[in-house]
């Protein structure tokens, strides 16, 4: 039930108003403006019926205090007055009243006016809530459209819009074009979850070195851009770049990925009169210079010094050895490598055997399609073969796919006869696991001892 508060120093008026409204509403009565304000501090009401002329505090004064209070300002007010002058009506409305009723009042008229005001108030409140919700939804949608989901930083669209507007007004500042060095290696070695975490950690570092009003954004992948409005001091910019590079190196070390990923920064300072694309391109050129001159450093565009400012993030051998073992775990089965990596291993072993008496064999397995009896493609067969070889050989052995139908392995500490036995065992194991391919595929091999 709606709650009506009647404020009037005339008890007869209060009794009559209560009687007129009590069938449809919960009614409370107070006899002064002070009592009304005290009542509102502890109770919730839906509408106030208030006399204008009261001792100590007039209805106008009470209405003013109600409208100034954030909790009460939306409560509708109807003034009660014996004055029917249109000027009085206008004054009531100017004081914040929603309506006024002349005394002596007619109960039916009072009920009708109260009901109408409450309906209007509910409609207004509903519209305000809908507008507020729509506004919040729009703000959230706008925020999402300008936010990188992974890092929470601004995205390329926000950067371009915000920075373009700033530069059009002659804004000055410093742009950092940033790239994470060897990030692909991080993804390939430790997986995409670790890669995503790396991007999030770097975003945290960038935020540490950002002030309110700075633009910190992720463009895509491992590319980031920051802009620092008002920063035109090269020394301050250099310290900021150095801090970012060092802090990220420390964070990666703490997480067990020290030395895997580093930071390169291209820097462009604008003193005004620069357009977005021009500023962006110059910083990008500085970054390109860093990437081609050692990485893990920063460089200012237009710097006549053709060297980059490398940041000392060196570590000792014990730390490096520890980091190289991170993520390897216990190695089981053959080490599978890309062909280029395999060639490097082969070259190393050739040099190794020239200085000792160890025997090392290289075996080339070849798949030949004899008879097509299944729907299994050669690519699938090669994948099955690789899996079989990985299980059959030792962790010290190495393998690579040589072609679409050939696979090469290096067998450590194996003589020629032992190597043949191993090759035959690998073939048998393959067909034991894939018997349906026996009539379809013939596997042959060639074996030789690696010579210096």
- Position 315 scores a pLDDT of 46
Tell me: pLDDT of 357 over 80: no
Q: Do the domains spanning 156-317 and 335-449 agree at the CATH topology level? A: yes
CA distance 186 to 179: 14
Residues of the chain with pLDDT > 70: what percent? Answer: 91
Average pLDDT over residues 290-311: 73
- Position 190 scores a pLDDT of 85
CATH of domain 335-449: 3.30.70.270
Tell me: pLDDT of 387 over 60: yes
Tell me: pLDDT of 307 over 70: no
Its CATH architecture, for the domain 3-125, is 3-Layer(aba) Sandwich (3.40)
Residues sharing a CB contact under 8 Å with residue 438, sequence separation 6 or more, in sequence order? 431
Tell me: pLDDT of 324 over 60: no
pLDDT in tens, 243-252: 999 999 989 8
Instruction: Give the CATH superfamily of 156-317.
Output: Reverse transcriptase/Diguanylate cyclase domain (3.30.70.270)
Residues of the chain with pLDDT > 90: what percent? Answer: 48
Of 87-91, 191-195, 355-359, highest mean pLDDT: 191-195
Average pLDDT over residues 263-282: 93
Q: From the CB of residue 61, how many other CB atoms can be counted at a distance below 10 Å?
A: 13
- Position 258 scores a pLDDT of 80
Minimal CA–CA distance to 234: which of 193, 258, 269?
A: 269
Tell me: pLDDT of 328 over 60: no
- Position 100 scores a pLDDT of 82
- Position 106 scores a pLDDT of 87
pLDDT in tens, 122-140: 898 888 888 888 877 776 6
Average pLDDT over residues 198-208: 96
Tell me: pLDDT of 321 over 80: no
Residues sharing a CB contact under 8 Å with residue 315, sequence separation 6 or more, in sequence order? 253, 258, 259, 323
- Position 372 scores a pLDDT of 72
Average pLDDT over residues 60-72: 90
Going from N- to C-terminal start, the domains of the chain cover 3-125, 156-317, 335-449
- Position 86 scores a pLDDT of 73
Q: What is the pTM of this model?
A: 0.47
Average pLDDT over residues 188-203: 91
Tell me: pLDDT of 452 over 50: yes
* Mean pLDDT over the full length of the chain: 87
pLDDT in tens, 417-431: 999 999 999 999 999
């Amino acid at each position: 039930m709606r709650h009506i508060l009647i404020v009037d120093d005339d008890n007869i008026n209060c009794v009559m108003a209560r009687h007129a409204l009590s069938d449809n509403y919960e009614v409370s009565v107070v006899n002064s403006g002070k009592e009304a304000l005290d009542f509102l501090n502890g109770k919730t009401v839906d509408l106030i019926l208030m006399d204008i002329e009261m001792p100590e505090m007039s209805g106008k004064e009470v209405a003013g205090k109600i409208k100034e209070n954030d909790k009460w300002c939306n409560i509708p007010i109807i003034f009660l007055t014996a004055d029917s002058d249109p000027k009085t009506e206008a004054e009531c409305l100017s004081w914040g009243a929603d309506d006024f009723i002349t005394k002596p009042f007619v109960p039916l008229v009072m009920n009708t006016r109260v009901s109408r005001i409450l309906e209007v108030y509910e409609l207004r409140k509903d519209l305000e809530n809908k507008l507020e919700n729509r506004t919040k939804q729009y703000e959230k949608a706008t925020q999402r459209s300008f936010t990188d989901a992974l890092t929470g930083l601004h995205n390329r669209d926000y950067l371009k819009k915000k920075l373009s507007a700033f530069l059009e007004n002659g804004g000055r500042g410093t742009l950092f074009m940033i790239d994470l060095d060897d990030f692909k290696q991080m993804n390939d070695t430790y997986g995409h979850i670790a890669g995503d975490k790396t991007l999030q950690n770097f975003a945290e570092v960038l935020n540490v070195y950002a002030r309110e009003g700075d633009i910190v954004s992720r463009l895509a992948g491992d590319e980031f851009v920051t802009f620092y409005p008002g920063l035109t001091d090269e020394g301050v910019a250099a310290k900021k770049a150095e801090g970012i590079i060092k802090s990220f190196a420390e964070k990666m070390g703490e997480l067990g990925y020290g030395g895997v990923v580093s930071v390169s920064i291209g820097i462009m300072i604008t003193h005004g009169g620069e357009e977005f694309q021009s500023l962006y391109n110059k910083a990008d050129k500085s970054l390109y210079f860093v990437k081609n001159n050692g990485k893990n450093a920063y460089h200012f565009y237009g710097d006549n010094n053709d060297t980059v400012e490398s940041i000392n993030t060196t570590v000792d051998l014990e730390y490096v050895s520890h980091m190289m073992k991170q993520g390897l775990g216990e190695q089981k089965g053959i080490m599978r490598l890309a062909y280029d990596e395999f060639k490097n291993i082969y070259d190393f072993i050739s040099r190794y055997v020239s200085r000792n008496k160890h025997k090392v064999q290289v075996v080339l397995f070849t798949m030949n399609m004899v008879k097509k009896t299944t729907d299994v493609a050669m690519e699938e067969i090669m994948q099955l073969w690789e899996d079989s070889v990985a299980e059959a050989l030792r962790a010290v052995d190495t393998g690579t796919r040589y072609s679409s139908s050939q696979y090469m392995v290096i067998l450590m500490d194996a003589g020629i006869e032992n190597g043949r036995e191993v090759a035959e065992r690998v073939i048998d194991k393959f067909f034991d696991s894939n018997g349906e391919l026996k009539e379809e595929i013939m596997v042959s091999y060639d074996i030789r001892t690696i010579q210096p």
